[in-house]
Amino acid sequence: MKTDIDFYFDFISPYGYLASTQLERIAIAHQRRIEWRPFLVGVTVMKIMGLKPMMQTPLKSDYVRLDKPRMASLLGVPLASPDVSRSNSVAAARAFYWIRDRDADAAMAFAKRMLHRAWVEGRDITPPEAVAEEASFVGIDAAQLRQALASQSLKDRLQREMDATIARGVFGSPFFIVDEQPIWGVDRLWMLEHWLRNGHWRRE
């Protein structure tokens, strides 16, 4: 009866990708399921929090440029450096939820493919064609998905997810919630593991 780990991430977030490479190992070790929940971190950061994008923030942008490759190295995973300044993950996120409503396993496989495309292959994930291409590799009808991506109902579907995400206090990527405990950042995977191991926040 263990609850799921809610894994909030943005497809265009390098730290979200980095977390995704570690999370399954952690979840399996502690017999938890992962609920993948892509969202648009630009909306929370800019519209809700009133901040600037990370890579347009003085001092922090320099730090992040230096930090991304060393974090990938620490985790032992590849990390490409696509130019995401003109990318957005709206179509990817909408596609995810459309697939999720039909097939949870396919949605997870799709999410992994999109993250791989962006952060291992270094390719753009913005255009609906890119999204449909990756979806087709996990057994989704690309034409049907392309049609759905143009629909108001799928826009509304993502909007409801965004509202729920913000209502739960999620603001950064990655962000984990397990047993109502919010945990922000790939640098806090050790806290997630502490909680899963102990179910408390006292020192071990």
Q: Supply φ then ψ for residue 200, to 5 degrees.
A: -150, 170
Binding positions for a copy of itself, 36-55, rule CB under 8 A:
44, 48-52
> What is the per-residue binding string for a copy of itself in 61-100, x denoting contact by CB under 8 A?
-xx--x---x--xxxx------------------------
Q: Who's near 173: CB < 8 A, 6+ residues apart?
A: 8, 9, 10, 13, 15, 16, 39, 41
Q: Any contact of residue 1 with a copy of itself (CB under 8 A)? A: no
43 secondary structure, DSSP code: I
3-state secondary structure of 161: helix
Give dist(CA 164, CA 108) in Å, integer: 20
142 versus 166: smaller Cβ distance to a copy of itself:
166
Q: Are 20 and 8 in contact (CB under 8 A)?
A: no
Of 22, 42, 57, 87, the residue at the interface with a copy of itself (CB under 8 A) is: 57
With respect to a copy of itself, which residue has the nearer C-beta, 95 or 174?
174
Nearest of 168, 149, 131 to residue 44 by alpha carbon: 168
In the complex with a copy of itself, the residue whose CB is nearer, 8 or 97, is 8
**Taking contact as CB under 8 A, which single stretch among the options 31-39, 56-64, 98-106, 156-164 is the one that binds a copy of itself?**
56-64
Site string for a copy of itself, 155-174 (x = CB under 8 A): -----------x--xxx---
Cα–Cα distance between 110 and 95 in angstroms, integer? 9
Which residue, 49 or 143, has its beta carbon nearer to a copy of itself? 49
Instruction: For residue 21, give both structure tokens.
Output: 């490479």
Measured between alpha carbons, how far is 149 from 94 in angstroms, rounded to an integer? Answer: 7
Contact residues: a copy of itself, CB under 8 A: 44, 48-52, 57-60, 62-63, 66, 70, 73-76, 166, 169-171, 182, 184-185, 187-188, 190-191, 194, 201-203
